[in-house]
Amino acid sequence: MKIIMLGAPGAGKGTQAKQIADKYGIPHISTGDIFRANLKQGTELGKKAKEYMDQGLLVPDELTCDLVMDRIGQEDCKNGFVLDGFPRTIPQAEALDKALANINEKMDYAVDVDVPDENIVNRMSGRRACINCGATYHIVSIPTKVEGICDRCGEKVVLRDDDQPETVKKRLNVYHEQTQPLIDYYKKQDILRTVDGTQPMEQVFGAIVEILGA
């Protein structure tokens, strides 16, 4: 079962991807993890990616796709995988389709965790992170026992810069411009499935399981 997770930043697709991976015994593949692993291991693809990253440039689509395909080719992916954070754009989706077609494979599902912008801004501006150990909380759904203090280490928790409402709105604009077109792209391929991401996490997961089959 080969699945792509779609959804705006803060929609909760990463959390759902991890749960899908656990339930179906398939790897959760995030591009961030792939980059870190290749850089750490000093692979050829990792070295190429590092050249761009060191210059503050985006890693080109073809190279990102090569890194993803290299990961997909590993033994633990033989029964499927969940892609989280890739593809982000139509050119990346096209590169992925082409690379999969070369090995007679194709994606089975693109699951869109749909959450209105307003909900995302509220959700993310309620997040808090510990400045010391990195533990994360939410002032509504996962509050700290003592307001403003980390349960784990007793240091201060703060609203991170990338969770500030203005930053979130900018990230959402980028998402609507670059990533949202993927919804139509996968709809045309008849593999798009949409779930209501405003529901509690367990219900969202339940809806996804219903789509994928028990």
Q: Is 7 left (phi over 0), alpha (psi -120 to 50) or beta?
A: left
Q: What percent of the chain has pLDDT over 90?
A: 74
Strands 127-130 and 157-158 turn out to be antiparallel
Tell whether 124 is covered by a domain: no
pLDDT tens digits, 56-111: 887 888 999 999 999 999 999 999 999 998 999 999 999 999 999 999 999 999 99
Tell whether 101 is covered by a domain: yes
Tell whether 30 is covered by a domain: yes
Q: Which residue, 198, 201, 131, 120, is CA-closest to 159?
A: 131
Tell whether 133 is covered by a domain: no
User: With bands split at pLDDT 50, 70 and 90, how would you rate the model's confidence at 141?
Assistant: confident
Helices (H), the chain: 13-24, 31-41, 44-54, 61-72, 90-102, 117-125, 165-174, 181-188, 201-212
Residues annotated as catalytic are 13, 88, 127, 160, 171
The backbone torsions φ and ψ at residue 57, rounded to the nearest 5 degrees and listed phi first, read -100, 155
Tell whether 38 is covered by a domain: yes
The reported pLDDT for the residue numbered 54 is 85
Tell whether 152 is covered by a domain: no
The reported pLDDT for the residue numbered 84 is 93
Tell whether 203 is covered by a domain: yes
The residue range of the domain holding 82 is 2-116+165-212
19-23, 51-55, 151-155: range with lowest mean pLDDT: 51-55
Q: What is the mean pLDDT of residues 127-143?
A: 91
User: With bands split at pLDDT 50, 70 and 90, how would you rate the model's confidence at 35?
Assistant: confident
> Cα(first)–Cα(last) distance of the chain, in Å?
12
Residue 205 is part of a domain; what is its CATH number?
3.40.50.300
Inter-residue contact 133 to 150 (CB < 8 Å):
yes
Q: What is the mean pLDDT of residues 132-156?
A: 93
The larger pLDDT score, comparing residue 206 to residue 214, is at 206
User: What are residue 5's DSSP bridge partners?
Assistant: 84, 111
- Enter the pTM of the model: 0.85
Mean pLDDT, rounded, of the chain: 93
pLDDT at 214 over 70: no
Number of domains in the chain: 1
pLDDT at 36 over 90: no
pLDDT tens digits, 164-202: 999 999 989 989 998 899 999 999 999 999 999 999 999
Q: Which residue, 57, 58, 70, 75, is CA-closest to 96?
A: 70
Tell whether 171 is covered by a domain: yes
Looking at the chain, how many residues does it have?
Answer: 214
